[in-house]
Amino acid sequence: MIPAPFDYLAPTTVEEALAALGQHGDDAKILAGGQSLLPVLRMRLNAPEVVIDLGKIDSLRGIRDDGDALVIGAMTQHSVVEHDALVAEHTTLISKAVEHLADHQIRHRGTFGGALAHADPAGDLGAPALALEAQFVIAGPGGTRTVAADDFFVDLFETAIGEDEILTEIRVPKHTGWGATYEKFVRVAHQWPIVAVAATVRVEGGTIAEARVGLTNMGSTPLRARAVEAALVGQPATEDAVRAAAAHAAEGTNPPSDLNGEAAYRSHLATVLVRRAVLSAAGSS
Amino acid sequence: MTRINLTVDGSKVSDDVEPRMLLVQYLREKLGKTGTVIGCDTSNCGACTVHLDGTSVKSCNVLAVQADGSEVTTIEGLAKDGELHQVQKSFRECHGLQCGFCTPGMIMQSVDLLKENPDPTEQEIRVGLEGNLCRCTGYHNIVKSVQHAAAQGGAQ
């Protein structure tokens, strides 16, 4: 299986990439690491006339400390994020999620921004980005704008990025000292999660002071489990208290039914995985 | 057509390729390096694993044009001066194969795994090879081969 023919552009700056996007509009597709796009092109689910490769734009790579946040360049490979000491210390939840994303070879090529912009509801990065209240920096012909995680994910494979825009970096507020766990349920190695839970909590003297919980594959976008978060705050980090809060995990979700499980099964799974993730996160903070 | 210049198994190569050509097609059809095989064609199985600038990638999931300016090592470039790489020797020693189709990818990923972690546990080997499928389910001896290679200092 090979892709349909396309013209290939490899700009070296964001400005050049935006100009190319402006010129070709609808007919163009942005190529980041290609680990989701190339299978789509090979299966001919999409056949753009022009592919704009961001791989030669060095300014889109790297991770930097920006005071109260870490800034992750959109083209930073998963394997770089996975092994980054700043990410591990200040946004532990991201380290935990990236560690088991796809497999080694895919993590060497796939990019942090590419995966988020692809917005697969079963992707592993959306729920942590929501839980950590990440901000998405998007460049367009009129300059850059910043979109909050809550407004970034619009629908299945759809984000707030406009057709003439490019995601350039993701700002993740530091959660230094927060415990974090990404609990992913799969049947076989490197499968997309059937359901996964991203949990990060701050524990003070045995009590949960703050909690953030994100859900993967429980709807057409990643979701925040706000009812769980509200129920956890002020509670002791004990099995009983966390179990009671986790009972709210499926509230406001709309999980899919497919060969891997019915919606009701996923709803049940969410309560189990939230309990495990929160208890583990509380134990590691 | 787009001009690409890269180094494959130590030799500089230069070609005009269609942008849609996959790296694995380029290696096999243009350069005749059929040691790298196409297994699933869906980026699941890892049989086509090669090293791109020193790290493992699935060459069915990279465009040849994306490899422009890079260094590629395939299974055919692992042996040095006629002597097999330690990981190749260990796969032979421990019979880390059944039909052999997944072997080029298994060996390339094992080399990458040992470079990152020269002394892996059995579990770390299994996780490290999770992107490589053996349709014969011959994982037992594959894991033994990687353990053997590690014990022989196979990370080099």
Predicted confidence (pLDDT) per residue in B70-128, tens digit: 999 999 999 999 999 999 999 999 999 999 999 999 999 999 999 999 999 999 999 99
How far, in whole angstroms, is CA B129 from its chain's centroid? 11
Structure tokens at A112: 């942090």
A105–chain B Cβ distance below 8 A for any pair: yes
CATH 3.30.465.10 occupies which residues in chain A?
62-173
CATH architecture of the domain with range A62-173: 2-Layer Sandwich (3.30)
Q: Residue A190 — pLDDT band, cuts 50, 70, 90? A: confident
User: Is the ipTM of this structure higher than 0.90?
Assistant: yes
Question: In this structure, what is the dihedral angle of CA atoms B136, B139, B141, B144, given to the nearest 10 degrees?
Answer: 170
pLDDT digits (tens, 9 = 90+) for A109-166: 999 999 999 999 999 999 999 999 999 999 999 999 999 999 999 999 999 999 999 9
Size of interface A-B (CB pairs under 8 A): 84
Give long-range contacts, CB 8 A cutoff, 24+ apart: A94-99. A94/A125, A94/A128, A94/A132, A94/A172, A95/A180, A96/A128, A96/A180, A96/A181, A96/A182, A96/A198, A97/A124, A97/A125, A97/A127, A97/A128, A97/A182, A97/A198, A98/A124, A98/A125, A99/A182
CATH for the A179-281 domain, from 3.30.9.10, 3.40.50.280, 3.30.390.50, 3.30.43.10? 3.30.390.50
Q: Decide if B130 contacts A103 (C-beta within 8 A).
A: yes
A106–chain B Cβ distance below 8 A for any pair: yes
Q: Which residues of B touch A43 (CB under 8 A)?
A: 42
Task: Kindly write down the DSSP assignment for every residue of A10-28, as one continuous string.
Answer: --SSHHHHHHHHHHHGGGE
| B109–A4 CB contact, under 8 Å | no
Do β-strands B49-52 and B55-58 pair in parallel, antiparallel, or remain unpaired?
Answer: antiparallel
Of the candidates A185, A243, A244, A188, which has an alpha carbon nearest to the alpha carbon of residue A218? A185
Residue of A2, A5, A103 lying closest to B22 (CB–CB): A2
What CA–CA distance (Å, rounded) separates A37 from A167?
16
CATH architecture of the domain with range A7-54: 2-Layer Sandwich (3.30)
| A41–B49 CB contact, under 8 Å | no
Structure tokens at B85: 């790489």
Q: Decide if A170 contacts A143 (C-beta within 8 A).
A: no
| Mean pLDDT score across all residues of chain B | 96
Q: Which residues of B touch A105 (CB under 8 A)?
A: 46, 49, 56-58, 61, 109, 131
Query: CA A165 → CA A162, A198, B56, distances in Å?
Result: 5, 28, 31
Structure tokens at A35: 């680990």
Strand stretches in chain A, DSSP E = 7-9, 28-31, 50-53, 63-66, 69-73, 135-140, 143-148, 153-155, 158-159, 166-173, 179-185, 195-204, 207-216, 223-224
CA distance A210 to chain B (A): 33
Q: Residue A1 — pLDDT band, cuts 50, 70, 90? A: confident
* Statement: residue A63 has pLDDT above 70: yes
The residues that bridge with A207 in the sheet, in sequence order, are A204, A236
Q: Residue A188 — pLDDT band, cuts 50, 70, 90? A: confident
A38–chain B Cβ distance below 8 A for any pair: yes
Q: Residue A285 — pLDDT band, cuts 50, 70, 90? A: low
Residue of A2, A4, A103 lying closest to B131 (CB–CB): A103
| B63–A39 CB contact, under 8 Å | no
Q: Which residues of B touch A106 (CB under 8 A)?
A: 43, 58, 61, 131
CATH 3.30.43.10 occupies which residues in chain A?
7-54
* Statement: residue B155 has pLDDT above 70: no
Q: Residue A64 — pLDDT band, cuts 50, 70, 90? A: very high
Of the candidates A74, A132, A120, A146, which has an alpha carbon nearest to the alpha carbon of residue A222? A120
Per-residue pLDDT at B156: 63
Q: Which residues of A touch B56 (CB under 8 A)?
A: 104-105, 108
Per-residue pLDDT at A62: 98
The pTM is what?
0.96
